[in-house]
Copies of this chain bind each other. A is one copy, B any other.
Amino acid sequence: MSTFHTTRRVEFRDTDAAGIMHFSAFFTKMEEAEHELLRSIGQSVYSRSKDGRLISWPRVAAECRYRGPAHFEDILDIAVHLERMGTSSVTFAFTFHRGDDLIAEGRITTVCCRLVEGSKPEPIPIPPEIREQLQRYLVVA
């Protein structure tokens, strides 16, 4: 099992009048890291399974715990792994560090859905070729 790593700088728009990165900005950065992980395995938010179905991953839950403040221009290391992969759902776990300091820990749960024009997204089993690629980031208990 390996962990996916990326970095993001705290941009000025990420900050608020308390002088620190706004708590909501951690969620967009988690999503950016998740999408970067997906691209690294040849997937995207919207992609096609081998059998031609249009796939997407709507979120069902998101959470974050804040351990310390991040400031403008800080560089944050974001580590991502899969905490759980069910039949259709995936839980990504994220940690944000600035150097050795833990800044935040978060989690996003998404469900693999088939998109059909004009219908609601329909949960489907994660296609085997995607499951195989995600496997490398899955924690082995």
Interface residues of A (CB under 8 A from B): 11-13, 15-20, 22-24, 27-28, 31-32, 35, 39, 44-45, 56, 58-66, 69, 71-73
Q: Which of B23, B31, B61, B73 is close to A44, meaning CB atoms less than 8 Å apart?
A: B73
For the complex of A and B, list the 7 residue pairs with the smallest distance between their C-beta atoms, beginning with the closest: A63-B63, A15-B17, A24-B27, A13-B28, A23-B59, A17-B19, A61-B65
Q: Contact between A66 and B72 (Cβ–Cβ < 8 Å)?
A: no
Q: Contact between B24 and A13 (Cβ–Cβ < 8 Å)?
A: yes
CB distance from A44 to the nearest CB of B (A): 7
Q: Contact between A11 and B23 (Cβ–Cβ < 8 Å)?
A: no
Q: Which of B12, B39, B62 is close to A63, meaning CB atoms less than 8 Å apart?
A: B62
Q: Which of B24, B28, B59 is close to A66, meaning CB atoms less than 8 Å apart?
A: B59
Q: Contact between B65 and A64 (Cβ–Cβ < 8 Å)?
A: no
Query: 22 A-B Cβ contacts within 8 A?
Result: A11-B31, A12-B17, A12-B22, A12-B31, A12-B45, A15-B17, A17-B20, A17-B71, A18-B58, A23-B27, A23-B62, A24-B31, A35-B73, A39-B73, A45-B72, A58-B66, A58-B69, A60-B66, A61-B63, A61-B65, A61-B66, A62-B64
